[in-house]
Amino acid sequence: MSDKETRTYDVIVLGAGPVGENVADRTRAAGLSTVIVESELVGGECSYWACEPSKALLRPGLLYREAAGFPGVASAVTGPLDASAVLAHRDRMVSDWDDQGQVDWLNSAKIELLRGHGRLDGPRRVAVRTPDGDTVHLTARHAVAVCTGTTAALPDLPGLAEVRPWTSREATSAHRVPGRLAILGAGVVATEMAAAWQALGAQVTLIARQSRLLGRVESFAADLVAERLRAAGVEFRFGTTIAAAARPGGPEGEIRLTLADGSDLVADELLLATGRAPRTAAAGLDTVGLTPGEWLAVDDSYTVTGVDGDWLYAVGDVNHRALLTHQGKYQARIAGAVIAARAAGQSLDTARWGRHTGTADLEAVPQVVFTDPEVTAVGLTTEDAARAGREVHVVDYEIGQVAGASQYDPDYRGRARVLIDPSRQVIVGATFAGRGVAELLHSATIAVTGEVPIDRLWHAVPSFPTISEVWLRLLETYRDQRHSS
């Protein structure tokens, strides 16, 4: 290829993760020629280093603990998890980090793939540095969509380069179980990886500046997760952080950590689960008047603000609205429809295109934390409501009192909470913590997003005996609260 080669498409998509794939699928289905640029694996972070491998590591441990505590089954659990088998299962789930299946899908959808690092090179232009060192110049007739996601945000820690810490990528792709694993962080990655690696045989110590886990969920749910992690053997160092780190014995030696509270810790590996940063530092943002390395601000059609012409879009984690794969794919469906409409000369006025305006990634974001117990939430938490000054009625119910839960686990521990707007009589937030509650989340999402009136929810009858009967118990509890007030 020549550095002077130029190709023209209707749409250029930077990043072939789930978000970029969905944007490209929608624009190609609308008849627009589309090229997708990817420097790593087609399928992106979620497929190879996040959602898929992390759940493959977590599920065996969750099943093991469930079976070990169930009458008639516990006696059959005679040994520890087979870590080698779990890691092999993880490898199968990520296709051994081979993206040929995803490439085949792109071909079937008639989406062209260009491998290499793509960066903006002015309005509607992208320069791609290919693996063989050449540069291909791309021009878009209608749109460029930046779907480059995020990368691990690392703290400014003395000795970090020599320590060679894990990020979420190494934590989900490691091929051996460390004897001692230190984790810095208290969010979803930290708690899920603590659960996974402790179950696989590591001694995990979690270090957090905060005083609790999972600061964005209801405190009762975070407390249940911490209780189970402690019972599994995870140690906690709350209210402190790492002041210095060293690996004096070289790449294979132990890591010596000095904490801010003056204590010390020795580990074989260190996972830094300290947040995410936008993957935009080398995206050429300066060529269109934006600042490299920053999040891309967008409107509700995912058009980048601050760039004239309605041609530049930022979809998925890179716009910082909701850093979740399912929300990024939701955004991609809307962005693809908007790009297609504008290419066809159609107006995006609210009357016609309101259904293609992104709202769910701001108002009703569903999320599951796949720990033991699972934590699921959508909409507001009590802390969210307090910060916003919104009046809500808080309704709690112990899930273990539901017949379906006792069938699931004789000693079931978990809680459900819904927040009800008293003036509109609709649910504005829901949180469930307990085994098997992930499948309750979509019903909660529909209730919140659809603003289903409480009086109407009485007619959504849950099956018996299932955990979903907790919905009926929550409504009954709310009725009793109202009658007693």
Domains recognised in the chain with CATH numbers: 6-43+99-151+277-361 (3.50.50.60), 160-274 (3.50.50.60), 373-484 (3.30.390.30)
Helix (H, G, I), strand (E, B) or coil at 185: coil
- Return averaged pLDDT per consecutive 10 residues of the chain, 485 residues in all: 77 98 98 98 97 97 93 92 98 98 97 98 98 96 98 90 94 98 98 98 97 96 98 97 93 94 97 97 98 97 96 98 95 96 82 62 92 96 96 97 91 96 97 96 96 96 95 97 84
> Is the Cβ–Cβ distance between 287 and 121 less than 8 Å?
yes
Ramachandran bin of 29, using left for φ above 0, alpha for ψ from -120 to 50, beta for the remaining angles: alpha
Per-residue model confidence (pLDDT) at position 351: 39
Specify the pLDDT at position 381: 97
Distance CA 215, CA 381 (A): 11
Residue type at 173 in one-letter notation: S
Cα–Cα separations (whole angstroms), residue 17 to 146, 309, 315: 11, 26, 11
What 8-state DSSP symbol labels residue 453? B
How many residues make up the chain in this entry?
A: 485
| Segments of 168-228 assigned E as strands | 180-184, 203-208
In which element (H, E) is residue 349 found?
Answer: none
Structural contact between residues 401 and 473, judged by C-beta atoms closer than 8 angstroms: yes
Contact 124, 139 (CB under 8 A): yes
Beta bridge partners of 161: none
Cβ-based neighbours of 135, under 8 Å, separated by 6 or more: 1, 3, 5, 127, 128, 129
Q: How far apart are CA 232 and CA 379, in angstroms?
A: 30
If we measure between CA atoms, which residue out of 41, 83, 47, 321 comes closest to residue 198? 83
**At CA 154, angle to CA 172 and CA 292, rounded to 5?**
110
Closest CA to 11 of 107, 124, 111, 142: 142
Q: Count H helices and E strands in the chain, helices first.
A: 17, 21
- Dihedral pair phi/psi, residue 18, rounded to 5°: -55, -35
- Beta-strand ranges (E) seen in 156-226 are 180-184, 203-208
At residue 285, the pLDDT reads 98
What are the CA-CA distances from residue 154 to residues 179, 274, 275, 277 (Å)? 23, 6, 8, 9
Residues paired with 115 in a beta bridge? 38
CA dist., res. 428 & res. 451, Å (int):
8
The one-letter amino acid code at 219 reads S
Question: Measured between alpha carbons, how far is 297 from 158 in angstroms, rounded to an integer?
Answer: 32
Contact by Cβ (8 Å): 191, 221: no
Cis peptide before 373 (omega within 30 of 0): yes
* Residue 161 pLDDT: 83
pLDDT value, residue 355: 55
Nearest in space to 205 (alpha carbons), one of 227, 177, 173, 238: 238
Inter-axis angle of helices 18-29 and 100-108, nearest 10: 20
Q: Which residues pair with 180 in a beta bridge?
A: 203
CA distances, 433 to each of 218, 225, 369, 400, 438 (Å) = 9, 9, 9, 11, 9
363 CA to centre of own chain: 17
Cα–Cα distance between 165 and 275 in angstroms, integer?
Answer: 14
Structure tokens at 321: 């609205």
Are 298 and 318 a contacting pair, CB within 8 Å?
no
Provide the 8-state DSSP code for 70: S
